[in-house]
Amino acid sequence: MQNQLEILIAVANEAFAAAYSRSLTPLEKHLLRGALTGHRYKEIYRDLPEVEKDATDLKRNAFQRSRAFQFWKQLTVALRNDDLDLLAPDETIGLKNAREILERSRTAPKSITVEVLGDRILWVGRQALVQQILDELLRDVRIVSLVGISGIGKTSLAARLTYCPQLKQQFSWFHIIRFAEESPAEKSPADFAMIAQAILGDAATSNERDLNAAIPHVIQTLQDQAHLLVLDMAEVAIQTNPLGQTQFRDRTLQRFLEAFLATDSMASALIFTSQLQLSPLLEGRYPTRTAEHRLTGLPSAEVTQLFAAWQVPIGPDQQLILQEYSDVYEGHPLALKVIAGEVRCEPYNGNLMAYWQDYRVELEQFRQWMVDEQTSASPRLESYSCDLTALVRSRLARTLDRLEQTDSLAHRLLCMGAIYRPAMEREAWFMLMMPEVQRGNLIDAFQSLQRRFLLEPERPHPNQVQYRLHNLVRCTALDRLARLEPCG
């Protein structure tokens, strides 16, 4: 019981760390532990150490009305901000449902990544892509990569696949393994250790030398038993070397994947989700055993269906308004889900027109910003929605933080390129930093952005390719442009 309790607290702690870059405080852990054990606020306050009460001059009423309320609000945002979609759009966590919500992360993958209503899956769109991936996995494709920018629906699509009856017949075991950010205290990552633990159970080891020896045992088990592994957030497990090439930070994981791909027969399969393009394994010698799919935004018809699935029906008089939001966010599922969640709640109660009336000035400003040929002034898109503030500042900002740490020149090029509204040719991007930066270095930086799917390619003519930024990425990049240090 105690061990299970600590696991649930660890789930909340991980969500807090991802959203706010800090761990739970002792007071927050005490509050959460009390909620998970079925205690009321009076009992939780009573059991609070006196030193904690004295240090904060905390009274019981203030504990419930201020500290507890603030904590549940922050935890709700943190969980909703998670790729695993632990919360529905209008759901909040609190004293009475904390255990039920946090338990979702410990059950089967399908129960934490896709909303289920009875026996019906809450899923709209991408049907052709779902069928294409199914066909691949039922053939000899062993590694499927779902790639794209943050919040575009990679993890949700991977989870959707675990529901498919064809895959339930093909595979007997399903696993979701989420790669974690490498902490400064870590001497070496152990990404393969998580896979070995999932497949071998207690027989797995964390010893680096033994992990290398465990590769054949894991491969043999995957040959004999049909497992489907979803390896989520692979971008944090990938490093870029000085030559601009990507490789897995855990060399044992790299060796495992190469062995997995080269083995003659294989009953299992892997699905990667990543914001960063995976380099070809074994120099691409097995092209029929791998497949990559880049996810983009949903078309307007699917956005309408999605809002209806989220219990925000769109009438004919609201269709143009929804089209505006779909255009602004380029069909970005997570951004639209946040908006749907706000529309469902007080004071709008499902009325998109009323929501639009509150924010139409800001939306019009953003539409005008989109029309301008060139501008360096961002309209602060996220400022008109409290939940979108968390989305834009936290999710996309973390992506660009990683880019800045691993490839500062690519980060600078992205921010400077954000002044372009229309798609521009590659040379126009280079001109932003020439002659201060050598052309060869700019080519490497540009390719780094391409590998991370931060550039949206367009073909105005059959023989011409131009590049632009997704609206959400552009807003975030413009915010960072002003604080860039001078080049050189």
> What residues contact residue 400 under an 8 Å CB cut-off, 6+ apart?
411, 414, 476, 477, 480
Q: Is the pTM higher than 0.85?
A: no
| Helix (H), strand (E) at residue 451 | helix 439-451
Q: SS3 letters for 331-353?
A: CCHHHHHHHHHHHHCCCCCCCHH
pLDDT by position in tens, the chain (length 488): 455 677 788 778 777 766 665 778 888 888 999 999 988 888 888 887 764 554 444 565 656 666 788 888 888 877 765 444 556 666 788 888 888 888 765 443 333 334 444 344 456 778 899 999 999 999 989 999 999 988 888 888 888 888 788 998 999 888 888 886 654 444 445 788 889 888 887 666 555 567 888 999 999 999 999 999 999 888 888 887 766 677 888 889 999 999 999 999 999 999 999 988 888 888 888 999 999 999 988 998 888 888 887 778 888 889 999 998 888 888 888 788 778 877 877 788 888 998 888 878 777 777 776 666 545 455 554 455 555 555 555 667 777 887 888 889 999 999 999 888 788 999 999 999 988 899 999 999 998 898 888 888 888 888 889 999 887 788 888 888 878 866 55
The residue behind tokens 């998109």 is 352
The residue behind tokens 């639009």 is 356
Angle at 153 between CA 151 and CA 159, to 5 degrees: 130
**Secondary structure letter of residue 21 according to DSSP:** S
Give tens-digit pLDDT for 143-188: 999 999 888 888 888 888 887 889 989 998 888 888 866 544 444 4
- At the second CATH level, the architecture of 110-294 is 3-Layer(aba) Sandwich (3.40)
Which phi and psi (to 5°) does residue 277 adopt?
-65, 135
The per-residue pLDDT for 378 is 53
Angle at 289 between CA 284 and CA 291, to 5 degrees: 85
The residue behind tokens 């990667």 is 272
Q: How far, in Å, CA of 486 to CA of 30, rounded? A: 47
Pick from 85, 340, 94, 373: which is nearest to 232 by CA? Answer: 85
Two tokens at 369? 């910003």
Q: Residue 105 to residues 14, 193, 237, 252, 264: CA-CA distances in angstroms? A: 12, 20, 21, 27, 35
Looking at residue 331, its amino acid is G
Q: CA torsion 336→339→341→346, rounded to 10°?
A: -160
The per-residue pLDDT for 181 is 61
With 0-12 / 13-18 / 19 or more C-beta atoms within 10 angstroms meaning exposed / middle / buried, residue 58 is middle
CATH placement of domain 387-481: 1.10.10.10
Instruction: Work out the end-to-end distance of the chain between its first and last CA atoms, rounded to an integer number of angstroms.
Output: 57
Q: Residue 326 to residues 335, 367, 373: CA-CA distances in angstroms? A: 9, 12, 21
Contact 303, 339 (CB under 8 A): no
Q: How far, in Å, CA of 319 to CA of 70, rounded? A: 36
Establish whether the linkage from the previous residue to 457 is cis, with ω within 30° of 0: no
* 386-425 burial: b if 16+ Cβ within 10 Å, else e: ebbbbbbebbbebbbebbbeebebbbbbbbbbbbbbebbe
For helices 154-163 and 127-138, give the axis angle rounded to 10 degrees. 60
Give tens-digit pLDDT for 7-58: 788 778 777 766 665 778 888 888 999 999 988 888 888 887 764 554 444 5
> What residues contact residue 90 under an 8 Å CB cut-off, 6+ apart?
341, 344, 345
